[in-house]
Structure 1
Amino acid sequence: MIGNINCDIDIDSLEIKDVIDIKLLQKFQDNFAESMGIASITVDKSGNPVTTPSSYTSFCIDFVHSTTIGDNRCAECHRKGGEEAARTGKPYIYTCHAGLIDFAAPILIEGKQIGTILGGQVLTKSPEKSRYMQIAKEIDVDEDKLVESVEKIKILTEKNVAAAAEVLFIVANALSKIGYEELKLKMISKSLEIEVLKKDLLLEESNKYNQLKTQFFSTISHELKTPINIISSSLQLLEKLYKDSSFTFTAETFSKYSKVMKQNCHRLIRVINNVVDMNKIEVGFLSLHLKNNNIVKVIEDITLSIVEYARLKNINIVFDTEIEEKITAFDEEQFERIMLNLLSNSIKFTKPGGNIDVTICDKKEHIFISVKDTGDGIPQDMLEKIFNTFTQVDASFRRHAEGSGIGLSLVKSLVKMHEGEISVISQLGVGSQFTIKLPVKLIDSESNAHKDRDLNYHVENTKIEFSDIYFD
């Protein structure tokens, strides 16, 4: 299972401190240097020290490194020694510019160098006085004192130097390997945590989806079952009355039950249309038929078509516009659904004696369409959710207004398809205001001739969209 987790590490970007505890390395280096009498320091792959020097000789500290020339020469020796060690992948022993025996042991991760342990500052034979007097002249230090300090340097056999370099090499690389494996385990652990988190999120989303699906089927079942039951009951009553020889069947009786059945047929059409169109939008099959048209006139006609519904509910509707004409490209049929849905909601949740204001504001590049009511309002915690599919402010079947919870989600999708935006502000007990921000644009088309439609054009669609509003 772990093998399938992606724990790739960019070794080129690794530093010694990423895989080795520097404090532990320093302690080991100090103890080794003191016991063996061999100086040591650890540097990164750029040559910068990561530990402090251990058991450095006076010869190096007080004389060679005390001058710029000597310090630069030392740095160059260390660099070349480290490069050779990295090239061969094993300790490299060499004689430094000041005549001492040094070594470079590479610290490797999968064959790539991440640092170097430098050691030495020893001799394998007695120093030649004349050679060190010449070195003193070259680096500009006191000749006698330099010779005196070199004579105090420990003399080891070449075998002991090689063994010391090998020990440092083995231990440092063991530490780096352990640290690297720990780093991989940490990354695997982190990857596993992320995978678990992702799966938890997927599970949570799946549960939410299943809940929504369950809620959807419950709501749709109710929305379909209720009108079907009403239609079925009305038909049964009509049949019973028709067969009852003692009852005088009149046109008024037929009209009464016919009206009930027709309204509930409209409810069924509305629910089915919404579900089908939401599915079309989700899979990208619903397209707009844009035409250049006077949107002010269209919205005014739609608003006027529902005045009678509002009057029956004793609700006052006011249409107000800054402009009489604004030609822009939009799908009149879909925009009618947008407006009828918003107006239907306002009528559902506005009590008798309330007001609904439909206003249009022209902002040149955009047109703002607002539907404001004095209805029940929407809780603040629901404002971000009401445009989600199947969301209802009051989702219980005993709510005082019917609805599948699809309408506002469909409205938002249709507005977005028009490259517009819809927003809402609301306060419980005060009312709600939905605002559409629609870009003004024109398209090139031979079929863009403006058609004036009378109010009858909107009547049938209004009946469908308002079919779940009941009047006393």
Structure 2
Amino acid sequence: MENIEQDIDVDSIEIKDIIDISLLQKFQDNFAESMNMACVTVDRNGVPVTKPTAYTKFCEYFIHSTNKGDKECANAHKYGGERATEMGKPCIYKCHAGLIDFAAPILIDGKQIGTILGGQILEHKFEKSDLEEKARKLGIDGNGFFKAAEEVKIIDNKSVKAAVDLLFMFANFLSKIGYEELQLRQMSKRLKNEILQRDTLLKEANEYNALKTRLFSTISHELKTPINIIYSAIQLLENMYTSDEKSNKMDLFLKYSGVMKQNCYRLIRLINNYIDINKIGLGFYKLEEKNGNIVNTIEDITMSVVEYAKLKDIKVIFDTDVEEKIMAYDSEKIERIMLNLLSNAIKFTDMGGNIKVSIHDNEKFVIISVKDNGSGIPEDMLEKIFDVFIQVDDSIRRNVEGSGIGLSLVKSFVEMHGGNITVESKLQGGSEFLINLPVKIIDEDPNINKDKGKLMDMDNKEVKIELSDIYL
């Protein structure tokens, strides 16, 4: 990757110079609402560049009511960003006021230009002596301060981790966008001296801007849609319990709790995919390979989607020319690959259609085929569908949900195994995805317990997550 410091001084770059603050504010507001935590974005010195979202009364009306408190908060924000940059991962820390915050750095060419911060939460209630000491140092009203402290949310570690992962994922996206924005600026300078290449460079710039717009649009839609569905289900349940009408409340509860759970799975899938695509791009993703029978693994995964397919009267067929093929592979990644391809096949195949999964042993390679007789893919999209955030035209997709990340992840997982994936398709004539995986055996520690494997079914959590955008 070319070093942009040859042309641009990164130390002089501010967040507002390269990132649309209004779009950043929208993400920040959505994050705070969905995670029920405070959020703000600051520059490299800890000074806010966005309007703080969901700040606690404890911080907004008391800590920030004094110059000293404001200064200490800026120093804490700066510390969180610098520490996260040093560690290369999110930094979870206790701020000067005793609250838990977490920081994810925005980096350009390895240098920090700002930080996204979340938190203003607690693991447990304050000690009164600590509050009295803080009120004395800041010179603020103790009674109101103590009452505001009682309202600070206590959050469990699992919820904090989910929020930290989401914030880190988005900070990585912003870092990439910032880097590409600087490259675009440099390209614009060169346009003045490269008139003959002007049209080509402008086309590349437009394609990048379209990708950036699609990125923010995808994030907004894919997060907002399931959150709205969950919120609507909650409202219906609340109305049910406040209504005088007599009805089978348990049936309604199970119906709408199922809707909420499915959309939670959908959010988990989306966040997992965004995090994974960034980890792969940064080179942090590693395989956990073990020797096993890949035929059994593929068959179990295929059978796990049969009940989903039956809801559309789609027949799923599994065929293999070999009953056992021992080789090294990461079973969790193979599961993600197959569930993604099968999910797409179900979504794009009409009622009464067929899906066939077959395995062919070519000795040095195993060939896995996922074939359907669905709507197919336009010829001009065949070379693009494995690119991140690329989706088939809406006229073909109809009402099918998706973020455009799944096939990009599939391609990455296959290539991490040393294999390749291709697609053959004809519009309205079905599609066939072909995966070639090299056969290899690895040395394993005999003391490590091997995963015996378990037949997957539609109640398996991983299946529900990967097929969460298929509405039953």
TM-score range, shorter chain: 0.5 to 0.7
Q: Secondary structure at the match of 1:338?
A: helix
Query: 1:398/1:313 Cα in 2 relative to 1: closer, same or farther (>3 Å)?
Result: closer
Task: Tell me how far apart the structure 1 counterparts of residues 310 and 342 of structure 2 sit (CA, whole Å).
Answer: 13
Task: Tell me how far apart the structure 2 counterparts of residues 457 and 305 of structure 1 sit (CA, whole Å).
Answer: 5
Query: 1:397/1:250 Cα in 2 relative to 1: closer, same or farther (>3 Å)?
Result: farther
Task: Tell me how far apart the structure 2 counterparts of residues 293 and 202 of structure 1 sit (CA, whole Å).
Answer: 49
The amino acid of 1:332's aligned partner reads S
Q: Is residue 251 of structure 1 aligned with residue 217 of structure 2?
A: no
Task: Tell me how far apart the structure 2 counterparts of residues 347 and 389 of structure 1 sit (CA, whole Å).
Answer: 21
Alpha-carbon deviation of 1:220?
Answer: 2.5
Partner of 1:341: 340
Query: 1:458/1:398 Cα in 2 relative to 1: closer, same or farther (>3 Å)?
Result: closer
The amino acid of 1:461's aligned partner reads E
1:302–1:458 CA contact under 8 A, matched in 2:
no
Alpha-carbon deviation of 1:196?
Answer: 4.9
Task: Tell me how far apart the structure 2 counterparts of residues 198 and 413 of structure 1 sit (CA, whole Å).
Answer: 33
Partner of 1:289: 288
Q: Is residue 467 of structure 1 aligned with residue 468 of structure 2?
A: yes
The amino acid of 1:283's aligned partner reads L
Task: Tell me how far apart the structure 1 counterparts of residues 253 and 191 of structure 2 sit (CA, whole Å).
Answer: 70
Alpha-carbon deviation of 1:222?
Answer: 1.3
* Pairs within 5 Å for 1:312-327: 312-327=311-326
Task: Tell me how far apart the structure 2 counterparts of residues 226 and 396 of structure 1 sit (CA, whole Å).
Answer: 20
Alpha-carbon deviation of 1:449?
Answer: 3.5
Larger Rg: 1 or 2?
1
Q: Is residue 421 of structure 1 aligned with residue 424 of structure 2?
A: no
Partner of 2:454: 453
Query: 1:422/1:458 Cα in 2 relative to 1: closer, same or farther (>3 Å)?
Result: farther
Q: Is residue 356 of structure 1 aligned with residue 355 of structure 2?
A: yes
1:292–1:448 CA contact under 8 A, matched in 2:
no
The amino acid of 1:460's aligned partner reads K
Task: Tell me how far apart the structure 2 counterparts of residues 271 and 356 of structure 1 sit (CA, whole Å).
Answer: 25
* Pairs within 5 Å for 1:222-237: 222-237=221-236
2:301–2:456 CA contact under 8 A, matched in 1:
yes
Partner of 2:209: 210
1:291–1:448 CA contact under 8 A, matched in 2:
no
Alpha-carbon deviation of 1:397?
Answer: 11
Partner of 2:385: 386
The amino acid of 2:471's aligned partner reads Y
Alpha-carbon deviation of 1:452?
Answer: 2.6
Query: 1:300/1:238 Cα in 2 relative to 1: closer, same or farther (>3 Å)?
Result: same
1:310–1:316 CA contact under 8 A, matched in 2:
yes
Q: Percent identity?
A: 60
1:266–1:464 CA contact under 8 A, matched in 2:
yes
- Alpha-carbon RMSD across the aligned residues, in angstroms, is 2.3
Task: Tell me how far apart the structure 2 counterparts of residues 290 and 381 of structure 1 sit (CA, whole Å).
Answer: 36
The amino acid of 1:466's aligned partner reads L
Task: Tell me how far apart the structure 1 counterparts of residues 451 and 238 of structure 2 sit (CA, whole Å).
Answer: 48
TM-score of the aligned structures, taking structure 2 as reference length:
0.56
1:230–1:264 CA contact under 8 A, matched in 2:
yes
Task: Tell me how far apart the structure 1 counterparts of residues 264 and 302 of structure 2 sit (CA, whole Å).
Answer: 23
Partner of 2:238: 239
Alpha-carbon deviation of 1:231?
Answer: 0.4
Partner of 1:431: 430
1:292–1:450 CA contact under 8 A, matched in 2:
no
> Higher mean Cα deviation, 237-246 or 268-277?
237-246
Alpha-carbon deviation of 1:197?
Answer: 5.6
Task: Tell me how far apart the structure 2 counterparts of residues 346 and 260 of structure 1 sit (CA, whole Å).
Answer: 23
Task: Tell me how far apart the structure 1 counterparts of residues 458 and 284 of structure 2 sit (CA, whole Å).
Answer: 26
Could you give the per-residue CA deviations for residues 405-428 of structure 1, whole angstroms, max 9, x where no partner exists? 111111001111111000000011
* Pairs within 5 Å for 1:300-311: 300-311=299-310
Query: 1:403/1:457 Cα in 2 relative to 1: closer, same or farther (>3 Å)?
Result: closer
Could you give the per-residue CA deviations for residues 301-341 of structure 1, whole angstroms, max 9, x where no partner exists? 00000000011110000000011111111111011000000
Query: 1:192/1:318 Cα in 2 relative to 1: closer, same or farther (>3 Å)?
Result: closer
Task: Tell me how far apart the structure 1 counterparts of residues 393 and 256 of structure 2 sit (CA, whole Å).
Answer: 30
* Pairs within 5 Å for 1:66-85: none
Task: Tell me how far apart the structure 2 counterparts of residues 318 and 289 of structure 1 sit (CA, whole Å).
Answer: 29
Alpha-carbon deviation of 1:436?
Answer: 0.1
Give the gaps of 5 or more residues in structure 2: 1-189
The amino acid of 2:466's aligned partner reads E
Task: Tell me how far apart the structure 1 counterparts of residues 454 and 408 of structure 2 sit (CA, whole Å).
Answer: 28
* Pairs within 5 Å for 1:366-405: 366-395=365-394, 399-405=398-404
Alpha-carbon deviation of 1:270?
Answer: 1.0
Alpha-carbon deviation of 1:261?
Answer: 0.8
Alpha-carbon deviation of 1:204?
Answer: 3.2
Q: Secondary structure at the match of 2:363?
A: coil
1:242–1:249 CA contact under 8 A, matched in 2:
no
Q: Secondary structure at the match of 1:345?
A: helix
Q: Secondary structure at the match of 2:460?
A: helix
Number of paired residues?
281
The amino acid of 1:324's aligned partner reads E
The amino acid of 1:384's aligned partner reads E
Query: 1:275/1:424 Cα in 2 relative to 1: closer, same or farther (>3 Å)?
Result: same
The amino acid of 1:463's aligned partner reads K
1:367–1:438 CA contact under 8 A, matched in 2:
yes
The amino acid of 1:288's aligned partner reads L
Could you give the per-residue CA deviations for residues 21-58 of structure 1, whole angstroms, max 9, x where no partner exists? xxxxxxxxxxxxxxxxxxxxxxxxxxxxxxxxxxxxxx
Alpha-carbon deviation of 1:202?
Answer: 4.8
Task: Tell me how far apart the structure 2 counterparts of residues 448 and 409 of structure 1 sit (CA, whole Å).
Answer: 32
Task: Tell me how far apart the structure 2 counterparts of residues 457 and 400 of structure 1 sit (CA, whole Å).
Answer: 23
* Pairs within 5 Å for 1:20-99: none
